[in-house]
Chain A
Amino acid sequence: MRTVEFDAVVVGTGPAGSASALVAAKKGLKVLVIERGPEPGSKTVSGAMIRIDEVGKVFGTDIPIERQVKRFKVIIANGGDRVNLDFPVSGLGTVGRRKFDAWMSSKAEAAGAVVITKTSVTGIKRTEGGIKVLTDRGEISTGRVVLAEGANPILSMSLRIRDDLTPEDAVQTAKEVYSMPQTEVTKRMGLSADTDGEVWRVIYVNKTFGAGFLYTYKDAIAIGAGAPMKSMIEKKYQPNVMIEDFKEDLGLKQLLSGTSLREYSAKIIPESGFPYCKAGIDNVYLAGDAIGLVNPLTFDGIGPAIASGVIAGNAVAEGWDPRKYEEALKYDPLIKSVISSRKLVKQLLSTGEKYVTLLPEIMKRWASGDLYGIRELVSENAWTILKDLTLLMQVRK
C-alpha cells in the first residue's frame, strides 16, 4: 500500500470539514480532505437554508444561493386547527447542498488544500510518529485529524470519542424535491421575483409530534418532515408515510400538483452530543453534526458546523490540547446557543405536542371572546409551561 504524508487530514467535505480545511490551509498547513461521495455534497442532506453572513464571513460572498428568502411562514398545525404567522425576513438564502458543498470545498482547494473524493476512511490508527488514516485506497500519514463525518459518525464512535445516538436523542427526517421552471416556482408561491424565495417552518401533530419545512429553490420546491425516532418506532410510523401525511395535512399536494419528483432523501438529526460527549482526543478534533452541532430550535446546522470547523482549523494548525478546543467551542456564540438549549430541546421532544394543540386552541377561544377559557387552558398546563420556561432561561449566546 502507498503511504502519503500530510500535516492534517480532514474527513468530510461538508460545512465543518471545508471550513476547517480552509482555515488550516490558509495557515500554511499541507491539508488533505477526504470525501466518500463521488463529489462534495453527493451524500449530504439539508433543507436547506443559510444565514448569509455566517457563511460569507468564512467562505466569501459569492455563495451559490438558490433564492433570497424574503418571506418566512411559521405554521402550527393540529389537524385542521392552524396558527399561521407570516412575516418578511432578510439575510437568509436557500441553498442546494450539492452545489453549496462543492462551492465550499472549492474555497478550501483555492486556499491550498488537496481534496480527494470517492474515498472512504475506514479507520484511524496511532503510530509512533503520529496518526495513520486508513482508507479504501491506501494509507495516509499525518499529524492531526479533523473528523467532520456528519450525523452518522461511525469513525468517531469506533475511536470511542463519542457514544452512539439512541432513538431518544435522534430525529428522523425525509425530504422530497419537486422540480419545475423557475417562473413556475415564483407563480405557485406567489412571489414577486424569480430570485425571491419563501420558507415554511411547520410544527404539527399527525401520528406523532413532528416538524416540517418547505424551501424554494431556483427551479424546485423542497419539502420535508421529521419526527422523534423513538415515537416513530413506537407508533410504527415509517418516514415515507410520514412525508405523505405531511403533504396531505399541509395542502402541499395541490401546490405540487403536476410537477415532478426529482429526489427523495432522508437524514437523521442528532439532538445531543457535545458537551455531553468529548469533542476531541489528542490531535483528533470532531466538528459539525459528528458532535451534534445542529440547532433544532432554529433549524440551523450549517452555521454551527462552519463555526466549529473554523475552530477545528485553528486547533489543527496550532496543535491545541483537546480541552482547549472544547473550551473554544463553548465560547462560540452559535455553538453556545446549541449546547445551552440541549435540555430544553430534550424536554420539547416530549412536551412539544402539547403546545401544538394548545396554541391553536388559545387562538380559537380568543376569537370567540372566551378569555376565561384561555385562563383555564393555561392554568391546566402551567406546570409544563413553567418548566419549559425555566429551561428557556438557560439559553445563551
Chain B
Amino acid sequence: MDNFKGPHPFNAGEKMKLEEKLYTLRYKRDEEPHLIIKNQETCKRCTEKYGVPEPCLAVCPANVYNYTEGKMVVAYENCVECGACRIACPFDNIIWKYPRYGLGIALRYG
C-alpha cells in the first residue's frame, strides 16, 4: 500500500496543516496583485468590530489575509481564486481582479 504514497501522504491520525495542502497546488505568480485592500484604516476598524479572525479570514480557504501590527497583509500569491473574501468583507474594502495572462492558480482536477 505504501507504493503509491506521494509527496503528501495522508496520515489518518492527524489534522493536515493548510500549508501542506497549499503545497499541492500549481501557481504562477502575477507580479501585479489581483487582490487589493482599498483602505487599511477600514481593516483596523473591522478588527475592532468583528474580532479575530475577521470575516475575510474566516471564509478564506488559503490564509491569504493576515492582520498583524495594525496592517492587513495580503498573500495574494496563495489565493485559490474562489472570490469569498470580497463577498464576506462587510466594508466592501477588497478590490478583486482576475490575475492576468493565465497566471494565478492552475488546477489539475478542478
Contacts and interface: CB of A to CB of B under 8 A. Distances in A.
Interface of A: 36-39, 41-46, 48, 96-98, 101, 117-122, 136-137, 151-152, 154, 164-167, 170, 172, 174, 176-181, 184, 217, 220, 222, 229, 232-233, 236-240, 244, 253-254, 256-268
Interface string B20-35: 1110110010000000
Contacts of A178: 10
B107 A98 contact: yes
A263 B2 contact: no
Interface in B87-110: 87-88, 96-102, 104-110
Contact of A257 (B10, B60, B99, B105): B10
13 contacts: A43-B104, A44-B107, A44-B110, A48-B110, A176-B21, A180-B4, A181-B4, A238-B53, A257-B11, A260-B9, A260-B10, A262-B6, A266-B84
Most interface-central of B4, B51, B99 (chain A CB within 10 A): B4
Contacts of B84: 170, 172, 229, 239, 266, 268
B16 interface: yes
Contacts of B60: 238-239
B7 A172 contact: no
B36 interface: no
Nearest to A100: B110
Given A152-B82, A229-B59, A239-B60, A45 B87 contact: no
Given A232-B58, A239-B59, A268 B11 contact: no
A106 B81 CA distance: 24
A116 B70 CA distance: 43
A254 B107 CA distance: 26
B24 A261 contact: yes
Interface of B: 1-2, 4-13, 15-16, 18, 20-22, 24-25, 28, 51-53, 55, 57-63, 80-84, 86-88, 96-102, 104-110
Contacts of B99: 36, 120
Contact of A97 (B16, B83, B106, B109): B109
A266 B82 CA distance: 6
B4 A97 contact: no
Nearest to A220: B109
Contacts of A41: 107, 110
B61 to A, nearest CB: 4
Contacts of A217: 109
Given A178-B10, A239-B61, A268 B87 contact: yes
B25 A263 contact: yes
A266 B18 CA distance: 13
Nearest to B6: A260
A184 B88 contact: no
B12 A229 contact: no
B21 A240 contact: yes
B101 A257 contact: no
Give the top 6 A-B pairs by smallest Cβ distance, nearest first: A118-B102, A152-B83, A97-B110, A260-B6, A257-B12, A266-B61
A261 B98 contact: no
A45 B5 contact: no
